[in-house]
Amino acid sequence: MAERTTENYFRMLREMRDVVFSTVAEDGTPRARIIDVMLVEGEKLYFLTAVGKDFYEELMRNGRVAIAGLNSSWETIRVWGRVRNVGQDLLGRIFEENPSMNNVYPGDSRYILEVFCLEEGEGEYFCLGTEPITRHPFSFGKKTFRKKGFEITDACIGCGTCAAACPQQAIDEGSPYTIRQENCLHCGLCFRDCPAEAVIRRSGEAEQ
């Protein structure tokens, strides 16, 4: 695994190339399609679409997107956040770095395309190829990531029920017991089975 930085995670999505982009349609229903990640620069990810597509209208109306991709090593990258239409200034460079685009939009037909930049949001790296699993949340731009999953409070009675139930053995003995967040599936077994109700959902507040 490369160094844990937003740029490296974006570059993993770039290497996956064809990943799922999701938006919300005008009627409030979800939409998903396969789109290429065209360019990554620092903590900015660029993609494009034609102005006649529903995808374009959804991006312009809502200004948000969610992206997910999986590679052959069972590493998943998910990101979601705000996008900005940056016009056509990067079209030439994108076509140079993605030559297959010349076959899809030959000649001047490329000028029906406009480029979007994802530059603020949250994400998560998740790997099923390790034992236990590995996850790492991250944020970029002005966004801070929100705490998810579960934690064990001082109401813990030290019975070990949670540790015995955990499918990834990601709970360590102590007073109270503690959940290794980087190995937690967020499945909720510990939350469901704790006899003292000492396991709570994490607040969803921004991580400090």
Flag whether pLDDT at 207 surpasses 90: no
pLDDT at 208: 45
Residue range 124-167, pLDDT digits in tens: 999 999 999 999 999 999 888 788 999 999 999 999 999 999 99
pTM of the predicted model as reported, rounded to 2 decimal places: 0.89
> CA triplet 175, 178, 181: central angle to 5 degrees?
165
Give the model's pLDDT for residue 2. 59
Burial of 65 (0-12, 13-18, 19+ CB in 10 A): buried
Q: Is the pLDDT of residue 204 over 90?
A: no
The CA distance from 9 to 7, in Å, is 5
Q: pLDDT-derived band of residue 61, with 50, 70 and 90 as boundaries?
A: very high
Q: Provide, rounded to the nearest whole percent, the portion of the chain with pLDDT above 90.
A: 91
From 2-6, 14-18, 29-33, 81-85, the region with the lowest mean pLDDT = 2-6
pLDDT, tens digit, 9 for 90 and up, residues 64-117: 999 999 999 999 999 999 999 999 999 999 999 999 999 999 999 999 999 999
